[in-house]
C-alpha cells in the first residue's frame, strides 16, 4: 500500500500505521476504503469527540440521546418526538440542487428509521455576498432543492434562517433539521440482537453517486476541486423516499423489524459497521446480492452513498411477510447477509472475502485527537463616533440589508401546510406543528449568531442558545431540548480549534443551567476554500412543547390600539455587535468590543413572568428582540396593515440588541392587570406605544408606512431576481 494511495484516502500515515500494527497485514483495497469512510471527521468526529462528551445529554424527558439516528424526548402521555439536524455543506456548494435535496432526504431517513413519522422540517442556510458571482446561483439551487424534496415527499417546512456574509462566498452552509412523532412503545433502534438474524437491503438500487462523499465532507476545498468532487454528490428521488418511508413504517408497525439503520454517509459500510458495533456482534454480507443499477466493483459498492436505502435486521421466519409488504410499495428488497457472533465485519464477493475486519478497530480504535487550540486575546475597550447617525440613516440601513428582509421568497417555495397540522408557518418567532389528533403543539427554531461567536465563541454561543429559547417562549412554547450543527473551518488552525472548543463550552454552560439537553447533532469541519474560513456557525435547533395549541401566542399585531411594551436590558451601542456592523460598517473582528456577559438569571426571571402572563391571557402577541433591535422586531410584527406609534428617549437605542428582550403587546383593557403583575414580579417594563393602522410613527415623526413595509417585504426577491 503506497503512501500516495493512503493519503488520497484521507488517512494520515500515523493512522495507517495504527491499523497496520493492529492487523499485522496489508489492507485490501476495499478495507482501505472502509477506513477512509469510517475514520474521517464526518463519521468518527475524531477532532470534536473529546469536547462533545462534555455536553449534557440526558434528563428525565430524554428517551434517546446522541448515538442513534436521532434524539428522542418524552412529550407526555404516550407521545415522543424524534429530531436531529445535519449538514450538507460541501455537496450543496458543488451541486446546490442535488446537494440540498439529498440533505433533506438524509435527515428524514434519520427520523423514520427510529419508527417516527416525520411531521416537520426546518433549515438553516447561509450564502456569500450577493456581489459574489456564484451567490445567486447557489441561493436559487439550494432553495429549489430543499423545496423539491420536501414538497414531493409531503413534509411541511415550518421555519429556519437565511443569512448572507462574505465568509460564505465559497462555502455556503446547508443545515437540514427534521422532527418526527412516535409512540413511546413503537421506537426502533439500530442495535441487532439475534445471532443468525437476516441482514436485508431495502430501497433504491446502488449506483456510483456519492462515492467518497463522507471523506469529501471532511476536507478543505480549493476552487479547482469543484469539478473533480462533483461525482461525490448524491442524487435523490423524493418519490422513492415516500415509498420507502411508508414501507418501513408499516414494517415497524407490524413488528417485523428487529433493527434498522439508514445507509447515509459511507453507505452500506457505515450502516453495517454501526449495527455490528451497537449490538457487540458481527455481520457477514455478500456484496453480490446488493441490488445495482449499473455494474460496480466491491470497492464502489462499499463506498456508494446512493440515496433512499436502508439496512435492516429481521428474523428469518418474517422474510416472506417483509418481502410481500415491500413488494406492495414497489421497493427493492434483498437478503444480503446475516448477523454473526464473530464481532467482525466480513464482506464477500465472487466467493472471496474482500473485507475481514474486527469491529473494534473500525470503531473503538478510531482516532480521537486532542488538537491544540488558542484562546482569544483580551480586547481593549474601544469607543466609536455615532454623531453622523440618525433614525433615518439607521432605518435605511436595515431596510436595504438583505439579512433583515422578509424571507417569503425562500419559504414560499416550500409547502408549509401539507399534512394539515401546521399552526405557525415560517416567518414568525418559531415554526409550530400540532401532533395529529391531539392538542399538543411542537415548536422549533434554528438559530445562530456567527458574528457574536467570532467575537467571543463562549459568550457568543450562550447568547445564541438564549435567542433560540426566546424564539420559542415568544410563542408560549417551553424549550425542552436541543440538536446542534457545529459548522467550523479547519481545526488544524489553532484559532479555529479554539472557536470550536469554546463554543461547546458556552453551549454546555447554557444547556445545563436551563436543563435543555443536547440529544443529537452533527459536526461539519473544514468549511473553507482557498484558505478563506467561514465565520464559526454552530447552529442551534431548539424544540419545545405547548400542551394546548389553543394557548399559543402569535408574533404579529392583532388589534389597533393595543399597547406595546418591552422588557429586557438594551445594550450600549458600543457593545452591540450588529449595530456596529450594520450602521458603522465595522467588519474587522479586532475592531469590536468584547461581548457583554450573558445574564442567565434575568433570562429565567423574564421567562417565568412571560409564561405566567400567557397563562393569565394578558398578552395578545409577543416577539423576541435580537439582531436589528426593537425597531426590527416591531417591523416583523406588522400584519394586516397594523403598524405602530412609539416614543423613545434615544432613537438609536431602537437598533441595538437586548439581553432577555421581548416585545409584549397587551390589550388596553388588560394593561392595568399586566403592569400590576410586572410590578409584583419586579419586572422593569418600558411602555413603547400603541398599535396603529397603516402608521409607523416614532416620536411624532410619521414615516411612510407603505414604503417601509413594501421595502421589508420585497427587498429579498428584488435583490435575488435582479
Which range among 211-215, 445-449, 639-643 shows the weakest confidence by mean pLDDT? 211-215
The half-sphere exposure of 218 on its side-chain side, counting CA atoms within 13 A, is 24
CA distances (Å), 600 to each of 175, 462, 509, 514, 594, in order? Answer: 28, 9, 10, 8, 18
Q: What is the Cα 586 distance to its own chain's centre?
A: 28
pLDDT at position 222 over 60: no
pLDDT at position 214 over 70: no
Compute the distance between CA of residue 449 and CA of residue 554 in angstroms, rounded to an integer. 24
pLDDT at position 304 over 60: yes
Compute the distance between CA of residue 142 and CA of residue 95 in angstroms, rounded to an integer. 9
- Residue 225 is predicted with a pLDDT of 52
- Nine-digit cell at 529? 476554500
- Nine-digit cell at 665? 403587546
Closest CA to 543 of 477, 433, 444: 444
Look at the pTM and tell me if it is higher than 0.85.
yes
Could you give the residue numbers annotated as active site?
A: 42, 88
pLDDT at position 216 over 60: no
**β-sheet bridge partners, residue 283:** 339, 345
- Residue 425 is predicted with a pLDDT of 84
Query: What is 3-362's CATH number?
Result: 3.90.650.10
pLDDT at position 118 over 90: yes
CA 110, 112, 117 angle in degrees (round to 5)?
135
- Residue 234 is predicted with a pLDDT of 75
Q: Which tens digit of pLDDT belongs to each residue from 534-571?
A: 999 999 999 999 999 999 999 999 999 999 999 999 99
Compute the distance between CA of residue 68 and CA of residue 71 in angstroms, rounded to an integer. 7
Provide the mean pLDDT of the chain. 94
Place of cell 416577539: 623
Q: What is the DSSP string of 294-336?
A: S---HHHHHH---SSEEEEEE-GGGHHHHHHHHHHTT--EEEE
Arithmetic mean of pLDDT, 268-280? 94
pLDDT at position 676 over 80: yes
Q: Which tens digit of pLDDT belongs to each residue from 389-410?
A: 999 999 999 999 999 999 999 9
CB atoms within 10 A of CB 191: 18
- Residue 215 is predicted with a pLDDT of 47
- Residue 233 is predicted with a pLDDT of 75
- Nine-digit cell at 170? 465559497
* Inter-axis angle of helices 391-400 and 705-721, nearest 10: 40
* Region of 115 on the Ramachandran plot (φ > 0 left; ψ -120 to 50 alpha; else beta): left
Q: Which residue has the higher pLDDT, 115 or 43?
A: 115
Compute the distance between CA of residue 192 and CA of residue 190 in angstroms, rounded to an integer. 6
Domain residues of the chain, as ranges? 3-362, 553-722
pLDDT at position 375 over 50: yes
Closest CA to 606 of 673, 546, 660: 660
Contact 464, 449 (CB under 8 A): yes
Q: Which tens digit of pLDDT belongs to each residue from 500-511?
A: 999 999 999 999
Q: Which tens digit of pLDDT belongs to each residue from 143-161?
A: 999 999 999 999 999 999 9
- Residue 398 is predicted with a pLDDT of 97
Name the pLDDT band for 377 (thresholds 50, 70, 90). confident
CA distances (Å), 189 to each of 65, 111, 113, 335, in order? Answer: 12, 11, 8, 20
Which range among 2-16, 193-207, 684-698 shows the weakest confidence by mean pLDDT? 2-16
CB atoms within 10 A of CB 339: 23
Arithmetic mean of pLDDT, 80-96? 95
Q: Which tens digit of pLDDT belongs to each residue from 591-644?
A: 999 999 999 999 999 999 999 999 999 999 999 999 999 999 999 999 999 999
Compute the chain's Rg from CA coordinates: 26
In our burial notation (b when 16+ CB lie closer than 10 A, e otherwise), range 194-230 reads beebbbbbbbbbbbbbbbbbbbbbbbbbeeeeeeebe
Name the pLDDT band for 227 (thresholds 50, 70, 90). low
Compute the distance between CA of residue 247 and CA of residue 343 in angstroms, rounded to an integer. 30
- Residue 226 is predicted with a pLDDT of 52
Q: Which tens digit of pLDDT belongs to each residue from 565-579?
A: 999 999 999 999 999
Closest CA to 426 of 663, 180, 84, 125: 125
Same fold, 3-362 and 553-722: yes
Contact 49, 468 (CB under 8 A): no
Q: What is the Cα 40 distance to its own chain's centre?
A: 21
Compute the distance between CA of residue 607 and CA of residue 660 in angstroms, rounded to an integer. 9
pLDDT at position 581 over 70: yes
Closest CA to 564 of 447, 697, 398: 697
Arithmetic mean of pLDDT, 307-323? 96
Considering the segment(s) 553-722 as one domain, its CATH architecture is Alpha-Beta Complex (3.90)
- Residue 147 is predicted with a pLDDT of 97
Amino acid at each position: 500500500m503506497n503512501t500516495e494511495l493512503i493519503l488520497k484516502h484521507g488517512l494520515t500515515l500515523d493512522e495507517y500505521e495504527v491499523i497496520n500494527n493492529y492487523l499485522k497485514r496489508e489492507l485490501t483495497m476495499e478495507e482501505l476504503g472502509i477506513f477512509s469512510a469510517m475514520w474521517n471527521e464526518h463519521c468518527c468526529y475524531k477532532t470534536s469527540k473529546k469536547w462533545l462528551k462534555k455536553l449534557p445529554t440526558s434528563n428525565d424527558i430524554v428517551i434517546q440521546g446522541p448515538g442513534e439516528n436521532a434524539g428522542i424526548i418524552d412529550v407526555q402521555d404516550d407521545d415522543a418526538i424524534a429530531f436531529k439536524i445535519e449538514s450538507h455543506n460541501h455537496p450543496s456548494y458543488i451541486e446546490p440542487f442535488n446537494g440540498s435535496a439529498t440533505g433533506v432526504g438524509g435527515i428524514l431517513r434519520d427520523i423514520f428509521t427510529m419508527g417516527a413519522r416525520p411531521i416537520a422540517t426546518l433549515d438553516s442556510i447561509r450564502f456569500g455576498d450577493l456581489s459574489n458571482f456564484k451567490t445567486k446561483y447557489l441561493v436559487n439551487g439550494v432553495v429549489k432543492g430543499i423545496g423539491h424534496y420536501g414538497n414531493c415527499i409531503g413534509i411541511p417546512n415550518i421555519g429556519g434562517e437565511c443569512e448572507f456574509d462574505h465568509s460564505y462566498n465559497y462555502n455556503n452552509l446547508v443545515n437540514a433539521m427534521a422532527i418526527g412523532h412516535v409512540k413511546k412503545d413503537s421506537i426502533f433502534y439500530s442495535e441487532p440482537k439475534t445471532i443468525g438474524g437476516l441482514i436485508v437491503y431495502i430501497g433504491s438500487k446502488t449506483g456510483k453517486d456519492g462515492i467518497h462523499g463522507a471523506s469529501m465532507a471532511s476536507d478543505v476545498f480549493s476552487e479547482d476541486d469543484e469539478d473533480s468532487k462533483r461525482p461525490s454528490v448524491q442524487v435523490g428521488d423524493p418519490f422513492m423516499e415516500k415509498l420507502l418511508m411508508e414501507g418501513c413504517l408499516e414494517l415497524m408497525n407490524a413488528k417485523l423489524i428487529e433493527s434498522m439503520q439508514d445507509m447515509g454517509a459511507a453507505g452500506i459500510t457505515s450502516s453495517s459497521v454501526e449495527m455490528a458495533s451497537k449490538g457487540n456482534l458481527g455481520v457477514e454480507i455478500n456484496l453480490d446480492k446488493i441490488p445495482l443499477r449499473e455494474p460496480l466493483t466491491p470497492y464502489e459498492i462499499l463506498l456508494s452513498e446512493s440515496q433512499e436505502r436502508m439496512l435492516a435486521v429481521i428474523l428469518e421466519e418474517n422474510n416472506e411477510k417483509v418481502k410481500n409488504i415491500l413488494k406492495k410499495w414497489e421497493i427493492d428488497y434483498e437478503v444480503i447477509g446475516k448477523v454473526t457472533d464473530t464481532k467482525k465485519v466480513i464482506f464477500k464477493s465472487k466467493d472471496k472475502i474482500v473485507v475481514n475486519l474486527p469491529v473494534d478497530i473500525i470503531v473503538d480504535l478510531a482516532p480521537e485527537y486532542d488538537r491544540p487550540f488558542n484562546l482569544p486575546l483580551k480586547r481593549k475597550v474601544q469607543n466609536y463616533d455615532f454623531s453622523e447617525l440618525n433614525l433615518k440613516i439607521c432605518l435605511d440601513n436595515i431596510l436595504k440589508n438583505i439579512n433583515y428582509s422578509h424571507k417569503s421568497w425562500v419559504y414560499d417555495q416550500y409547502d408549509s401546510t401539507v399534512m394539515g397540522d401546521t399552526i405557525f408557518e415560517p416567518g414568525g418567532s418559531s415554526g409550530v406543528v400540532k401532533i395529529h389528533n391531539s392538542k399538543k403543539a411542537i415548536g422549533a427554531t434554528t438559530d445562530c449568531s456567527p458574528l457574536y461567536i467570532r467575537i467571543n465563541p463562549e459568550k457568543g454561543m450562550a447568547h445564541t442558545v438564549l435567542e433560540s429559547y426566546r424564539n420559542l417562549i415568544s410563542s408560549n412554547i417551553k424549550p425542552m431540548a436541543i440538536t446542534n450543527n457545529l459548522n467550523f473551518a479547519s481545526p488544524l488552525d489553532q484559532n479555529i480549534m479554539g472557536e470550536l472548543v469554546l463554543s461547546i463550552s458556552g453551549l454546555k454552560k447554557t444547556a445545563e443551567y436551563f436543563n435543555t439537553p443536547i440529544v443529537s447533532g452533527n459536526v461539519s469541519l473544514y468549511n473553507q476554500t482557498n484558505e478563506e474560513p467561514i465565520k464559526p456557525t454552530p447552529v442551534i435547533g431548539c424544540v419545545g412543547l405547548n400542551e394546548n395549541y389553543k394557548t399559543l401566542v402569535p408574533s404579529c399585531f392583532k388589534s389597533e390600539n393595543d399597547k406595546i411594551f418591552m422588557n429586557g436590558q438594551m445594550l450600549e451601542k458600543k457593545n452591540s455587535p450588529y449595530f456596529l456592523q450594520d450602521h458603522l460598517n465595522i467588519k474587522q473582528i479586532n475592531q469590536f468590543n468584547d461581548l457583554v456577559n450573558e445574564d442567565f438569571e434575568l433570562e429565567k426571571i423574564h421567562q417565568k413572568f412571560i409564561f405566567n402572563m400567557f397563562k393569565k391571557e394578558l398578552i395578545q402577541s409577543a416577539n423576541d428582540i435580537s439582531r436589528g433591535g426593537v425597531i426590527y422586531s416591531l417591523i416583523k410584527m406588522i400584519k394586516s396593515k397594523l403598524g405602530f406609534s412609539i416614543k423613545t428617549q434615544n432613537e438609536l437605542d431602537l437598533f441595538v440588541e437586548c439581553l432577555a428582550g421581548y416585545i409584549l403587546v397587551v390589550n388596553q383593557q388588560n394593561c392595568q392587570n399586566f403592569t400590576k403583575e410586572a410590578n409584583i414580579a419586579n419586572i422593569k417594563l418600558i411602555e413603547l406605544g400603541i398599535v396603529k393602522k397603516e402608521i409607523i410613527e416614532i416620536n411624532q415623526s410619521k414615516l411612510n408606512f407603505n414604503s417601509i413595509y413594501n421595502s421589508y417585504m420585497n427587498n429579498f426577491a428584488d435583490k435575488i431576481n435582479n
